[in-house]
Chains A and B, each alone.
Chain A
């Protein structure tokens, strides 16, 4: 390769690395003081922190699929996930994760639903909101003369049990297509407008036709919230509930109605809450360990391997920038275990450099010129690098498969680290080193390329 080509290639790598680094910096609000002014692209690419770093709740449900046709299990679980996701979104959690974990040959045919709620530390409330199924029922007046349950209160008033006044109809929230929030044009009161699906529209039409002039009671979760009088048959399948809602209540009701009933019953298997302060201190500790780990390696490389060591540190910096950018772009949910995987991958990343530099040193001892020694070092070290990385990749793959979410985080960061390091420690180091071999060969440069205690 010609001299100018080598130099321009090295410059190109530096420029690209700077762009990657700039992206990481700009998209992190803790590092970037002007984060608020950055474009949406940067704002949408912050690090995604796992629950153990951000604080929050982790819930594992078991889905009861005994009543479901085996061929329908997949669809039902997806429907279940959608419903839970809609419910979770209702309480305004940022970036909730709802995922289905299907059966494997180890767990049998068990289907699980995993819900991660970052920032939610009131786990009881979260469980309640997830489990809540709004039950919407339409009831019609009981025929005259039907038995009525009446009790005489302590104050002498007669209380007629309202539930005996109405009889169940087939129409329930199951036939609801969608609910919307609207405001009464005259009173400005919030109300909930319902649109039934085809079957619901038919049922509603029959009910209203048979009950013109009578009351139809709308029950929510077993208690009547509105008892309008039917004026005429309604054929378009639209109904309005105007209870005495506050706007927030009405909004929540709409959300709950739209999220619908659970297609599969679920049971809570395990739950975990991590307090926000605990998560924050874990994050700080993780960042600190990463920085110090980096400095340790940098110090070792420069002291032991001199000029090539310095170049390995540059490659390692580029490795870190690429990894951080990948964490943001993929995105990878970072956990304490994931950070550990990343930190270890920094150590593994320079392994390839160590193997190469030791080879270069040997070739120099054999009396080769610097340029020859460097190129021989790269080609001879390749087999060792490949073999030793293969075993790490095997472990990472199996761990990823083994994974609970925490372990997957570790396997993913370690595996990615090993793969990216094959590129950074070999290709990038080679580009920079080839520029350095342009230096004149003398005692001093030979010293720079040697290592350890040798002169």
Chain B
């Protein structure tokens, strides 16, 4: 009952975090990677030692590679970001990096994406996010179709969506900050992370809503139902399992973040944030919101 009594504080924390995410999103903006806007990334490692960055910058200044961004990587490598390049230009680019053959190098990684592929992926991403959200809403509506007293089943759905938005917005805000300070870019994996958070966080919310549903069903015969009481009791019964199920996923995500491949590090971090706030929201946001909604509904009747 502690949670329901202090629901204003918990709902407030969520509102503040979501606001912070929205603000950082609008201030910093999302840095879109080449997956979506097209362009090329070339990563090289020099055989002996890498040349001074100014020298490389100077070598590129006369060439038409768009706005070239050169970052040092590892002990003797560079990552070069440029517009997308064809075969000939790719050769020129590599040759420029050797500074006319003075600094022999090996190409570690190269990725060039034409703008049309990027545009298509953007469309696909938007459609996928819309579809997943829609499918999940429909699923919730279906799962709760039989619960209607004292709160209508579609309201569970609405609250599930509000929590979903909360669970996605906070990791996105976190990503924006990471992208601002550590150079993470919005890529395909970011979209996958968002979609996976949608799936995982809703399953967490459902576990608790399921419990409320079950307890309400057991009380179906009694005339008066203290909704607040039922929700509080259901929360008490299920918060341990809710935390435990999230914990197992968060544990593996930590393993992925600390020991996994570098390509999936930001992905893992976003999911950790998503799981953490997803659990927080299903315990401290979804159910308190449900009670608030019911109280508001009652006060209107009177």
B112-147 near A? 1/0 per residue, CB < 8 Å? 111011001101110110011001100100010000
Inside 8 A of A396's CB, which chain B residues have their CB? 199
**CA gap between A118 and B255 in the complex, in Å:** 28
Q: Is B251 an interface residue (CB 8 A)?
A: yes
Q: Is B111 an interface residue (CB 8 A)?
A: yes
Q: Is A399 an interface residue (CB 8 A)?
A: yes
**CA gap between A11 and B214 in the complex, in Å:** 36
**CA gap between A390 and B141 in the complex, in Å:** 13
Q: Give B221 Cβ to nearest chain A Cβ, in Å.
A: 19
**CA gap between A452 and B240 in the complex, in Å:** 10
> Which residue in chain A gives the minimum CB-CB distance to B90?
A124
Q: A110-B120, A293-B255 are in contact. List 16 more A-B contacts (CB 8 A).
A: A270-B111, A272-B109, A275-B108, A278-B109, A285-B261, A296-B254, A296-B255, A336-B263, A340-B256, A340-B268, A344-B256, A355-B241, A358-B240, A384-B211, A390-B203, A398-B132
**CA gap between A301 and B252 in the complex, in Å:** 13
Q: Is B259 an interface residue (CB 8 A)?
A: yes
Inside 8 A of A290's CB, which chain B residues have their CB? 255
Which residues of B in the span 253-296 have a Cβ within 8 Å of any Cβ on A? Answer: 253-256, 258-264, 267-268, 271
Evaluate contact between A304 and B132: CB separation under 8 angstroms. no
Contact of B195 among A60, A292, A399 (CB under 8 A): A399
Evaluate contact between B87 and A124: CB separation under 8 angstroms. yes
Inside 8 A of B132's CB, which chain A residues have their CB? 394-395, 398
B residues bordering A, Cβ < 8 Å?
A: 43, 84, 86-87, 90-91, 106-114, 116-117, 120-121, 123-125, 127-128, 131-132, 135-136, 139, 143, 188-189, 191-192, 195-196, 198-200, 202-204, 206-207, 210-211, 214, 237-238, 240-241, 244-245, 247-256, 258-264, 267-268, 271
Evaluate contact between A52 and B112: CB separation under 8 angstroms. no
Contact of A395 among B43, B195, B258, B268 (CB under 8 A): B195
Inside 8 A of A339's CB, which chain B residues have their CB? 260-261, 264
**CA gap between A362 and B237 in the complex, in Å:** 9
A-B contact pairs, 30 of them (CB 8 A): A62-B116, A124-B87, A269-B114, A270-B111, A270-B113, A272-B109, A274-B109, A275-B108, A278-B109, A286-B261, A289-B260, A292-B258, A293-B255, A293-B256, A296-B254, A300-B248, A337-B263, A344-B252, A344-B253, A350-B248, A351-B248, A354-B241, A354-B244, A384-B207, A388-B206, A391-B139, A395-B195, A399-B196, A402-B128, A407-B192
Evaluate contact between A347 and B84: CB separation under 8 angstroms. no
Q: Give B42 Cβ to nearest chain A Cβ, in Å.
A: 9
Inside 8 A of B247's CB, which chain A residues have their CB? 300
Q: Give A96 Cβ to nearest chain B Cβ, in Å.
A: 18
Evaluate contact between B188 and A404: CB separation under 8 angstroms. yes
Inside 8 A of A406's CB, which chain B residues have their CB? 188-189
Given contacts A271-B112, A278-B109, A390-B139, contact A289 B259 (CB under 8 A): yes
Evaluate contact between A293 and B261: CB separation under 8 angstroms. no
Evaluate contact between B199 and A395: CB separation under 8 angstroms. yes
Contact of A414 among B86, B196, B259 (CB under 8 A): B196
Evaluate contact between B244 and A394: CB separation under 8 angstroms. no
**CA gap between A108 and B148 in the complex, in Å:** 44
**CA gap between A105 and B218 in the complex, in Å:** 48
Q: Give B40 Cβ to nearest chain A Cβ, in Å.
A: 9
Given contacts A300-B247, A362-B237, contact A268 B252 (CB under 8 A): no
Given contacts A282-B263, A395-B196, A410-B192, contact A355 B207 (CB under 8 A): yes
Contact of B210 among A123, A383, A407 (CB under 8 A): A383
**CA gap between A294 and B211 in the complex, in Å:** 29
**CA gap between A126 and B174 in the complex, in Å:** 41
Q: Give A67 Cβ to nearest chain B Cβ, in Å.
A: 19
Contact of A389 among B120, B203, B211 (CB under 8 A): B203
**CA gap between A300 and B261 in the complex, in Å:** 24
Evaluate contact between A347 and B203: CB separation under 8 angstroms. no
A320-341 near B? 1/0 per residue, CB < 8 Å? 0000000000000000110110
Inside 8 A of A395's CB, which chain B residues have their CB? 132, 136, 195-196, 198-199
**CA gap between A62 and B188 in the complex, in Å:** 20
Which residues of A in the span 273-298 have a Cβ within 8 Å of any Cβ on B? Answer: 273-275, 277-278, 281-283, 285-286, 288-290, 292-294, 296-297
Q: Is A121 an interface residue (CB 8 A)?
A: yes
**CA gap between A46 and B54 in the complex, in Å:** 47
Given contacts A106-B123, A351-B249, contact A337 B189 (CB under 8 A): yes
Inside 8 A of B113's CB, which chain A residues have their CB? 269-270
Inside 8 A of A127's CB, which chain B residues have their CB? 87
Inside 8 A of A348's CB, which chain B residues have their CB? 200, 248-249
Evaluate contact between B248 and A347: CB separation under 8 angstroms. yes
Inside 8 A of B91's CB, which chain A residues have their CB? 124
Q: Is A387 an interface residue (CB 8 A)?
A: yes
Evaluate contact between B255 and A404: CB separation under 8 angstroms. no
Evaluate contact between B112 and A394: CB separation under 8 angstroms. no
